[in-house]
Structure 1
Amino acid sequence: MSDAPETRPCPDCASPVRAANQSFCDGCGAFLRWDAPAVATREEPEETTTPLPAVPPERETEPEAPARAPEPVREAPRAPEPPAPDHPSAPAPSPHTVARSLLVPVPEDRPSEPAVAAPVLPARPEAARPAVRAAEAATPVPGGTPCPACSLANAPGRHFCRFCATPMVPERLSTAEGPYAGRRPGLARDRSRWIVRALIAAGVAAVVVGGVLGGPPAARAVQDHFATRVPVHPVSWTASHSAPNQEPKLAGDGYSNTWWGTGYAGDSEGQYLEAAFAEPTDLLSLLITPGSSKNTTQADGQATPRTFDLVVKDASGEIRVSHHRINDGGTQRVDLRVRDALSVRLVLRTAWRADPRKQVAVAELEFFGRSVT
């Protein structure tokens, strides 16, 4: 007797299938009817079902599918063959037995296929967590300044504690009035400013007291220092000598591009320019613009006064002489404090850039006196 399982053709595709223990065709997947024997229950006697005859369905136009080669199947233990239908001892299948055969599970005689895992999306990489180091014990500085809060020693010169960040020099608050929310630190008082102000006040007081105790001249000096200066215009101009078209009045016309010239080459020592006033005037200062223009770099620029004398005659006939020195070029101020002046004479002594081809010139001479208001 051969060990190969008994086969029969599939009713749909005619592929060979096992005669027992196979519910679906391997070639086309068609249901092979209930041809397996029924499973015995616990209480009822073992019964078997008679397989239905395999009748191929009627096909009109659909061609028969080609037969497929049978797949190798593991050999299962052969079930006992049911008795033939015409055997006198075979009982007829009952409807209850046929219904139970529908619930019989298909035996798992085929090899199980490996399970395929479902696709998984890639996850975002987790950021590396920072390593946490244990706090090191504070190491006090030998011989350092102790903190007022934690009492640990710090290096000299620190403003805040290196262990607890407490100010090394805490702000001293008034014991009568404690700190409150929103309190601002006190402003540093600069005592030097008060010292300077006190010295200035003392100086002013000394000047005033000295002027009063020193008599009228000292008092007038104090008044002249704080007086308001106003321009004073002479009524006449004269000179010891003048160059052609360079009259003395050009020194007081208010223009810096016109000038008075001595008419002599060199430093013109001894030559003078004089201005007279209509009435006695309290003079405080004068402005002199030396040369033929404010711009002394001009090619045709004349020589300028270097040293000169100012001779002032007052209403009492007294003559006061003062010596002065100025720079080469540019308007310059000369202090001249004289009461009741009637005339002022400028006498030349030396000159800047004296040259045989040039003469000493004065572009402008302006006087300032005390305001009557």
Structure 2
Amino acid sequence: MAGSRPRRGWRRPRAGLPVVLILLAVGIWFALPHLSGLFGFAKQETGTPESVPPAAYRASSEAAKHPAAAAFDGFNNRYWAPEKTGEGGGEYLECDFAQPVRVMKIVVFSGTSARQDEFLTQGRPARLTVELTSKDGEKTSRTLRLRDQAGQQTFDVRGSDTVRARITVDSAYGSGEGRRTAVAEVEFFGGRG
């Protein structure tokens, strides 16, 4: 037929295409063990953090009827307060986890209660230093600045393989003679392992 082109027959792939396919297959083979870790990391970073309560707790000092355990008991109507009154700087809460945890967030209820009418009866933390210790002894710290208001305050604080946390009161609102710096509740969120 005039004006039509002859059809070409099937062409054999060049030698480069099989080599590329083999290299791609080998690359996937070697990457497979690492992909599950990559997807696991992505899940950890984007998943919803769960509560990771500590197993043991203590404080630099405790006022009568206001032990360190009150800051980790899950209720925000009981509180920890140090024995001494005044500024409260340097006093701390410390807790241990039964197994290493990945800390992502910390929730703090400052003052004596989450209820506004009880909140102002004692001093409240203005600035806290959170120090996380991993199972290999590595320490990371972060300073938290709290608002002088009742209720929950949430902070992004990250630590891997955390076995201990120390929360130190650096400064306080409403402190003075006869007033103790109170912390109603501290909660940790993240994941196990």
> Please, what TM-score do these two structures have when normalized by structure 2?
0.74
Q: Which residue of 2 aligns with 1:229?
A: 49
The structure whose RCO (Cα within 8 Å, separation 6+) is larger is 2
Displacement of 1:272 in angstroms is 0.3
Q: Which amino acid aligns with 1:327?
A: R
Cα deviations by residue, 1:262-304 (Å, 9 ceiling, x for unpaired):
1222221111001110111111111110011112433872111
The equivalences for 1:167-186 within 5 A come to: none
Tell me which residue corresponds to 1:261: 81
State the match for 1:281 in structure 2.
Answer: 101
Distance in 1, matches of 2:120 and 2:136, equals 43
**Is 1:353 matched up with 2:170?**
no
SS at 2:108 equivalent: strand
2:124 to 304, 328, 338: 304
Please state whether the residue corresponding to 2:182 is helix, strand or coil. strand
From 134, 145, 155, the equivalent of 1:325 is 145
Match of 1:360, SS state, is coil
- 1:337 maps to 2:155: no
Q: Which has the larger radius of gyration?
A: 1
> Could you tell me whether the CA contact under 8 Å between 1:227 and 1:370 is conserved in 2?
no
What is the CA–CA distance in structure 2 between the aligned matches of 1:279 and 1:256, rounded to whole Å? 25
Please give the secondary structure, in 1, of the residue aligned with 2:69: helix
Map of 1:272 onto structure 2? 92
Aligned counterparts of 2:119 and 2:167: Cα–Cα separation in 1: 26
Which secondary structure does the structure 1 equivalent of 2:118 belong to?
coil
Aligned residues: 155
The answer to whether the Cα contact below 8 Å between 1:224 and 1:337 also exists between their aligned partners in 2 is: no
Matching of residues 96-111 of structure 1 within 5 Å = none
Contact 1:313 1:344 in 2 (8 A): yes
Aligned to 1:368: 189
Going by fraction, where is strand more abundant, 1 or 2? 2
Task: Tell me: CA distance 1:369–1:353, structure 2 relative to 1, closer, same or farther (3 Å).
Answer: same
8 A contact 1:285–1:335 mirrored in 2: yes
User: Partners in 2 of 1:300 and 1:263 — Cα distance?
Assistant: 18
Consecutive unaligned residues of structure 1, counting only runs of 5 or more, are 1-211
Describe the superposition over 1:317-359 as per-residue Cα deviations: whole angstroms up to 9, x where unpaired: 1011111101112211011111100011001111011121210
8 Å contact from structure 2 (residues 109, 152) kept in 1: yes
Q: List gaps (5 residues or longer) in structure 2.
A: 1-33
> Could you tell me whether the CA contact under 8 Å between 2:52 and 2:191 is conserved in 1?
no
CA distance in 2, matches of 1:270, 1:319: 18
2:100–2:192 Cα contact (<8 Å) kept: no
Using a 3 Å threshold, how does the CA distance of structure 1 residues 303 and 296 change in structure 2: closer, same or farther? farther
Determine if contact 1:227/1:371 at 8 Å carries over to the other structure.
Answer: no
Contact in 2 for aligned 1:259/1:291 (Cα 8 Å): yes
Determine the structure 2 residue equivalent to 1:182. Answer: none
Among all aligned residue pairs of Structure 1 and Structure 2, give the percentage whose two residues are the same amino acid. Answer: 27
Secondary structure of the residue aligned to 1:267 is: coil
CA distance, structure 1, for counterparts of residue 90 and residue 119 of structure 2: 26
Aligned residue for 2:74, secondary structure, equals: coil
Provide the alpha-carbon RMSD of the alignment: 2.2
Amino acid at match of 2:78: T
One-letter code aligned to 2:158: R
Q: Distance in 2 between matches of 1:357 and 1:280?
A: 39
TM-score computed with the length of structure 1 as normaliser: 0.39
SS of the residue aligned with 1:332? strand
Indicate how the Cα distance of structure 1 residues 227 and 299 shifts in structure 2: closer, same or farther if over 3 A, else same. closer
Paired residue type of 1:267: E
Instruction: Report the Cα distance in structure 2 between the residues aligned to 1:362 and 1:355, rounded to whole angstroms.
Output: 16
**2 CA distance for matches of 1:289 and 1:351?**
14
- Structure number with the higher helix fraction is 2
Alpha-carbon spacing, 1:239–1:352, altered in 2? closer, same or farther (3 Å): same
